Every structure is written in C-alpha cells, then in structure tokens.
Structure 1
Amino acid sequence: MTEGAVAPLLAGVIVVEISRGVAASHAGRLLSTLGAETVLVEPPDGNPLRREPPTLPPANEASALFAFLAAGKQSVTCDLATPAGRAGLSALLAAADVFIHDLRPGERIALELDEASLGSCYPKLIDVSVLPFGAFGPKADWHAEEINLIHASGEGFLLPNGLAAELFPDRPPLKVYGHFAEYQGGVVAALGALSALIGREHGGAESVDVSVQDAALAVGAFALQRLGDGSLEHRQTRSFKYGGVLACADGYVELLTLEDRQWRGLVELMGRPDWMLDPALSDALERSRRGAEINRAIRAWALEQRTADVVARAQALGVPMAKYGSPAEVLSGAHERARNLFQPVEIPGAGRLPILAAPLHVDGAAPGLRAGPPRLGEHQHLLAVKRRRDQPAIAAEAS
C-alpha cells in the first residue's frame, strides 16, 4: 500500500464462499471488492458458473459471468464428499469471519454445516445463507432459476410495460435481461454480512438467512403499496402517464418528470410550444389525466432530436433524461471514466479486459479490483496456511 493510501474497508476480513448460483457469488464479490479476502471453495470440476455462457474470445473458454463474479477472489478445490475435502473446508472456516453459501438445508446437515453445527464449531463465524426462497419454510429445498425468481417476486407480472408493451403487444411475460433478482439477493446478503460484522463487535456472531424472492420483492414495493390501496398494476397499465422511453432520431432516451420544476424544464426544452403553456397543465393531476395526449406530442418531438444533444440540453435544464447507450458507449463514457467504474484485469483465456469494479465509492474513490478471476485451484496453498494458523490453538487445547 502506498504512503497515505487508505486501507480497504474490509481489510483483514476473511470470507469463505461456496456458491453455485449468482446470488451467493455476487455477495462474495461485493465483499471482496470492499477489501475482504474472499476464498472461493470449488468442487474438483470447478464452480458451475465457470461454464455459464456467454464465453469470451479468443478461446471462448472463459465465462463472462464468472469473470465478473469471481474477480478478485481466490480459488481452492475441496471435494466435500471426502474426509480430506471436509477437513480442508474446516480449516478455512476456523480462520474465517464470514461464510457465504447457497447450500440447501439437507446438504448443510449432511456436511455438518447447519446453523447449530457452525455455531458450535466456529463461534465467531458469521453464517450467511442465500437461497431462492430462504433456508426455512416449505420452499427451502426448492430449486429456482432466474426466470422463476423474477416472476415469484411479482416483477415478471409487470413486464414488458410502457413503450415496449405498445411496440410489441403480443409478447409474453418477460424477465429483465441477465440475473436481476439474483443480483438483488446478493446485495442483501452482502449487507447482511456487513451488519453482522458490525454486530459481532457488540455481541456474538449471527446467522443471516436471505431469500432471493424476498430481496427481489422489495424492488416492487410501490406496486405492493398500490395493491394495498386497491390498485392492481399490470404490464399493460404500469407506465408513466407521459415520458418514459422515447425514440429519437439516432437512438432512445428515457424521460422522467415527477416534479413541477421538471415539467417546467421540459417546457423550456421543447421550445415552449403553445399547447404546453395551457394554464391547466400547471396542475400535475391534470397532466396525468391528459397523459396520452401529452405523450403523443412529446414522442413526435423526440423523433426529431439527436440523443446526445437533447440529453445535454435536458440535464442543463434540470430535466431527468438519459440515453440508452450501447455497451461500447458505456465503456467509453465520460461519466464512467470519471468514476473509474470499469477497471482492466487479466482474465485467464481471454486476456486483459475491463470489468465493472463496484457500483459505489468509498471515501470518494472507487474500490480497486485486486485481480481478475482465479484459475481453478490457483490458491490451493491457502489450505496449508489456514491449517498452520489453527495449529497453536489446537495444540493449546491438547495440552
């Protein structure tokens, strides 16, 4: 560490991770990016996410998803079906602060990694379970993929909506691209681990039980609130009365005007046309009632605009608007560069590529990625190191 540099937030914290899904893996990645030493425990044939498409050229052997989720982690292999593998994991857990996993209840009992066993053997270890429907209840043993979770949380009921529903009215219910629900579960698990680390300073280690369904359900809190008010949102009705996604001459932007000052900025942005100066439209409720009429005019105007120009003018006027950028545009964007959002790391089989570091800054700076994803078993030596760390305590107990 250079002189004057601030130590990573979780420097000195050791995390052991057993993951097969995105949620637990994302939780480990977030803690690793914040400075924790995160040790990924893999079966002899590797974490299944290593084989998850899409793959990266030139060899097309490296999973893009695994490269992101495992960046900065260390890899050891343990065959948990063997005594030696279980002993290796035990040595890691004895030295760890946090254990993140997506082991199912039956697996935990068979491996003596259930909450009671962990509490007895490793009293200072924080246990974080991340499962599709949580570790307790009638669905604790259920398997689920992302598409199941996005619909189990209610979000799928609302997709596609807005402009997408209008352009493609015959599309079936969809899911958000990628692993939206599982990423939400990973965020909640990481926050749970951080809270438990703080709590451990004032008491014992806690167990954290995360349901990905619950985590994703929280994203749709407004839809639930409106349901409580008697209004059932649906993909055909869930949209802003005006604004939302707009087609421009060279791409798409998103417009959101929730406040009066934002409406007034939009009036200026559009050149103060006569119809927008109608005194009745100074009332937000009236604008809502006439939303379809307003939207027709906004969309016709937007088709004549260039995205970069209209976004710059909108933001100068305090109108919330942003462009939908291509992946290349996101990587080269001035905002993303200023925040050091993407950082280059070495990816085995793919070379040096930029990877998203973290969606946050700590003390005004982006957390740095220490490395790319590890090779399978690259840090096998850690098993011996952790065992040596435990030996004095074991010897003391024996004496």
Structure 2
Amino acid sequence: MTVLPLEGIRIADFGQIIAVPYTAQMLAWLGAEVILIETQERLTTRIWPPFAANEPGVNRSGGFNMVNSSKMSCTLNLRDPKGVALAKQIISVSDIVVENYSSGTMQRMGLGYEDVKRLRPDVIYLSLGAFGRTGPMKDLVGFHSVINLFSGLASVTGHKGSHPRIMGGLFPDAFSGCYCILSLLEAIYHRANTGQGQHIEVAMTEALGTLIPEAVMEYTLDGTEPKRVGNRHKNKAPHNVFRCLGVENWVAISVENDAQFKALAQVSGNPRWVSDTRFANPEARLSHQGDLEPLIQDWTSGLHVHDVVGRLQKAGVPAGPVLDSAQVLVDPHMVARGFVQSPDHPEVGPRPLGAFPWAVDGGQPGIARAAPLLGEHNQKVIQELLQVPDDEYTRLLDSGVIS
C-alpha cells in the first residue's frame, strides 16, 4: 500500500495492558498517527517481564513492545492539573480517544466522554472494560481469566468429565481489540457521512460471548448444555492431536467422512481399519475413539510431523502441524505472506512480531517503526503539535508535569 487508509487520523491512546494498546497499534499500522499518553505513576506493561536479554528496563519489555509499535510516546503527570490540561490539548487536536482504565477513572480526571465532547464535538471516543461501562457489573475489575470464564467460553473448553479450561495466552485481549477496531472503523465512516462523533463502549465478556454461537443455539433450541470434549469433536472422528517423532512435535488430524477415513487408513498402511466394524462409519468411529486414537498414535509417533502432514494432505485428509510461538515466527509460509515482521528497536534491536493477518492486493502495510522509548516524542507532541514555547516546556519538565 502506498497510501494507507487512515492517514490523517490522529488517536489519543490512553490504553493499558493489551486490549486497547493492540487496537491502537493496528490502527497505527493502517496509517493513523497514534499518541500514546503515558504516566510514570502507571507504567504497567513497561515494567512487566519478559525483558530483552533478561535485563529489566522501561524500554525492554516484550509485553509492551509487542502491542505499541508505530506509536509516539508522550509522558504526562495525569495527577497534576497541568498534565491533564496538556492531555486535553492533545485530545482537542485528535480524531479518536481510546481508553480502558477502570470505570470512572477518565471521568475523575476530567477526561470522560462528556468532558472531551466539549473540547471536540465530533470526537470518536472508545471505552473498553471487562464488563462494559453500563450495567450492574460495570465497576468490577476483570482480567483475561475472569473474562474467559464469565463469557461462557470456558464452559465448552476442557476435557470430558473435567473442569472448565481457560484458553492460554492473552486471547480475550487481542480478540476484544479486533471488535474495537471494527467499531472504530464504523465510527470513522459514520462521522465522514454525518459529521457526528460517537461514544463506543466495548465489553470484553460480550466480545468473547460471540465465540460460542453453536452452544447458545443448542441451548435455545432444546435446552441442551454442550458437553466438553477436549480436542475431540461431537460429529467427527478421529479429531485430535497425535504425537510425532521428536520432543513436543504434534500433528492435528480431523476426519469428516468415510472417504477421508479410507484415505487415512491407506496412507498409514492400515487398510483393514475400513472393514473393522468399530470404524465402519462416522457413528461407529465416534463411539470407538478410544480404540482408534492409539492406532493412529502408533503410526504418527515414528514419523516427523511434516512427513505426516505431507502424506495426509496429499491424500485429501485435513491435517496440520501444531506450532509453538517460535515455530510460527520462522514458518516459511507465515514469513512468505509478510505476517512476520521485525521492526528495529533502538534499545533491544530487531524483534519479530506478528503483523496483519490479511493482505490487500497481494501486500501488507509494513510496521513503520518499533515501539517508542518512554517519553521519546515529548518534544514532538508538546512543542511541535501543541506549539508550547521553549521556556514553558522547560518549566513543565522541571515541575514534573512532563514526567
């Protein structure tokens, strides 16, 4: 892309932790100018491990650098009225404000939607919370484990007869961030057509709740609560992961019909499986997964994972390797598509990041630059953008307003 779609859009980013920072980062990749407003009193992910080379530092956190690339950093003391006044000036020249502080925090600082709307009537203002900004639970705090459980997602995740399982990683944050991006793009389009801004509020629990439509449908149709089945599937068998040669090498195999099962039997050198009454049709295979899976495991355990995948895919059987994060970042397919990019950070050097999961006309926008150093763009934002003169800028520095 030579011209990015959000060029000319400025965002005041008050995001914390992962979800909203991820949102603003994606918009920065699309061309928006994102000013991350930070405060020394609340550095959150900047001081969270892991750190590059295991050396702690406010510019070395992997968690921060992963979701704040292509942004500018401006550090203000938001406990000082003068710091809040500068934040308001930044907002007044911004198109969008994004925040995920605890409910009421922005309002107490005088930076809530109604306050900001008086500064810029057409502002687009996004608030994200674990449970949203309205309703009886709006003031409750929740991180990814609570959100995962409350959304209903964990109720269908886990092994048969076992307890609910929380999905690994920071899945709720990134997924909620995608809904934030969608809603902000809608608001930009709305403002272009009407001249009106909007206040958007996203509940992370509701975002994750959209991932279980099948479970909701079953319950609303006949009152049935879906049962946890682990890596298995209620209609397909075999449907699981199987160990391959080496340490922690696994292949995922999913057989949907008799033709695919016949191909699996042939490829694995076990054509007699097809005539075995336990595996003769989908219903039989579902009932005898405990007999079938060890047989498949005996075959896969002696082969390299990509050998298994290659043979099955060639025969038309859905199969794929189970990759860990290190393998994703060097996978030839991921690299060839441009998903893996390595912006060069001034303190920790080039580090690979997962970028856009889509391509436009065969290409992807590049990650313009790595995550900013703490306060790296104070002068650019406060002096160049806000036109604060040198002597006043020095006084703000000396008094700790610019922190």
Query: By the TM > 0.5 criterion, same fold?
Result: yes
From 121, 124, 134, give the equivalent of 2:122. 124
Pair 375,369 (structure 1): closer, same or farther in 2 beyond 3 Å:
same
Q: Deviation digits for residues 36-56 of structure 1, max 9, x if unmatched?
A: 111110013463111122222
Matches within 5 A, 1:293-312: 293-312=291-310
Establish whether residue 55 from structure 1 lines up as the match of residue 54 from structure 2: no
CA pair 340-288 structure 1, distance change in 2 beyond 3 A: same
**Partners of 1:345 and 1:354 within 8 A in 2:** yes
The corresponding residue for 2:40 is 44
Q: Pick one of 221, 227, 238 that aligns with 2:219.
A: 227
Distance 1:85 1:233, change over 3 A: same
Give aligned pairs, total. Answer: 378
The CA distance in 2 between the partners of 1:281 and 1:173, in whole Å, is 30
Q: What code does the residue aligned with 1:208 have?
A: I
Q: Indicate the larger mover: 189-198 or 284-293.
A: 284-293
2:176 counterpart (178, 185, 190)? 185
Pairwise CA RMSD = 2.6
Shift of 1:280: 9.3
Shift of 1:220: 2.5
> Could you tell me which of 25, 30, 34 is aligned with 1:29?
25
DSSP-derived class of the 1:310 partner:
helix
CA positional deviation for 1:282:
6.9
- Shift in Å, 1:356: 1.8
Deviation at 1:281, TM superposition (A): 5.8
**Aligned equivalents of 1:142, 1:128: Cα separation in 2:** 18
Q: Give the Cα–Cα distance (whole angstroms) in 2 for the partners of residues 44 and 89 of structure 1.
A: 15
Is 1:176 aligned to residue 167 of structure 2? yes
The one of 233, 247, 250 equivalent to 2:243 is 247
Distance 1:260 1:28 in 2: 47
Amino acid paired to 1:44: Q
Q: Which residue of 2 aligns with 1:150?
A: 148
> C-alpha offsets along residues 59-92 of structure 1, whole Å, 9 cap, x if unaligned?
3431111111111111001222222211211121
Instruction: Tell me what 1:74 maps to.
Output: 72
CA distance in 2, matches of 1:46, 1:262: 55
State the distance in 2 between where 1:125 and 1:318 align: 52
What SS does the aligned partner of 2:172 have?
Answer: helix
TM-score normalised over the length of structure 1 = 0.86
CA distance in 2, matches of 1:101, 1:191: 16
Residues 341 and 353 in structure 2, CA contact (< 8 A), matched pair in contact too: yes
Map of 1:89 onto structure 2: 87
Tell me how far apart the structure 2 counterparts of residues 369 and 382 of structure 1 sit (CA, whole Å): 21
- Cα deviation 1:93-147 (Å, max 9, x = unaligned): 1121211101333223222333333333212211111111111111111111221
Which one is further off, 260-269 or 78-87?
A: 260-269
What letter corresponds to residue 356 of structure 1 in structure 2? Answer: G
Seq. identity, %: 24
Which one of the candidate residues 191, 195, 202 is aligned to 2:193? 202
Distance 1:156 1:137, change over 3 A: same
The match for 2:320 among 302, 319, 322 is: 322
Q: For the Cα contact (< 8 Å) 1:58–1:349, is it kept in 2?
A: no
Ranges in structure 1 where 5+ consecutive residues have no aligned partner: 390-399
2:351 is paired with a residue whose SS is strand
What amino acid maps onto 2:23 in structure 1?
Answer: A
Using the TM superposition, give the Cα deviation of residue 7 of structure 1 relative to its aligned residue in structure 2, in angstroms.
Answer: 1.0
- Matched-pair contact (CA < 8 Å) for 1:102–1:129: yes
- Counterpart-to-counterpart distance in 1, 2:256 and 2:189: 37
| 1:20 CA displacement | 1.8
Give the conservation status (yes or no) of the 8 Å contact 1:242–1:292: no
Contact 2:102–2:139 (CA<8 Å) still a contact in 1? Answer: yes
Q: Which residue of 2 aligns with 1:337?
A: 335
Whole-Å separation in 1 of the counterparts to 2:259 and 2:186: 38
